[in-house]
Structure 1
Amino acid sequence: MHGLTNSTPVDRGVDVVAVHVAAWEIECCAPPPEVGREARWVLAFTADDAEPEIFHRPVRWDRIGSKLSAGGISAYWRDAPDDLSDHPTGLRGRLWGTVHGADVPDGFVGTTGTVISVYLLDELYREDEAGVWRPLPGTEVRTSVGKSPSWFGGSGTFVSGMDCRKQTGVVMELAVSG
């Protein structure tokens, strides 16, 4: 079982990982994640000590392919430190799902699992001194949904000097056999 309020049973040999998917990925051509459906995503890892630990089983690091592997999960890590051990522990950060490759090289293996939850992400944005709209840390709101929308909204008109909420994508929990 995972630690959500409404528990979803999963087998013991399954890893549950949170995968962030940007709104533009889904609006372009990625299939909207849906609870109970199988999904295949190419994953990229971004380290961030403020985030939870990602992997809960031994991790293998392939420095040639810049690939982290744990059970049935594979993730590309573009900015990995040069001195990373072959079996890193305590990796904290986010997994990002992509169908477009983004920073992931062509041919990188995808990760397949069953979607057990989907959360719509909404963040508060503020204009900075250079006129660029940026999300404000700590303002992310997650709303449980059965299926990701195909198109995202929820943002008002961006008006200089005022904060604005915007739907930025989804987080899905993916149960991956290992």
Structure 2
Amino acid sequence: MKKIGTVIAVLAAFLLTACAVSSEGHDPVERRLLSAKDTTRAAERSLIDLVPANEVESVRQSDDGAVLQCGSKYQWSGNVRIGLAPGTRATEARDALARAASDHGFSVSKDEMLSGDVRYEMFDDNRVQLIVTVWNDGSALNVDSGSPCFDLPSDFDVPLNY
């Protein structure tokens, strides 16, 4: 009876180890996706914190984003909408955010879109890209974000949303 118990214990340990190795095989891919998402969302939050609280009526930071191709690699792409308090001028808030971001270590460039509107492209120290525009007739600032590009295995089924 002792031998059967020992065999069962050894078999159970083997099966648990095999499961851990098997799930660990997928773990690095999951970690890459999660790391890209977490890094990007942290950059979004850093930018949100630079908008004066009295100018913010609401913040909607998307929980999920899209996994997009980035050349031969991938990036996690997210979005934040900063609803502006009544009386806040969106273009002034956008420009002030760009100045504050520059003062806090973001690389900031400004360009004019075909519509004539201005947008700012910003990169933080982790190379997260953030594009800030005025949205919804000036009632909000829109921040589209993208992680640095990263590799995924060619046989990995890339999720549309993550």
Q: TM-score, normalised by structure 1?
A: 0.23
Q: Which has the higher strand share?
A: 1
Per the normalisation by structure 2, the TM-score is 0.25
Q: Which has the larger radius of gyration?
A: 2
- Higher relative contact order, structure no. (Cα contacts within 8 Å, ≥ 6 residues apart): 1
Counting helix residues as a fraction of each chain, which structure ranks higher? 2
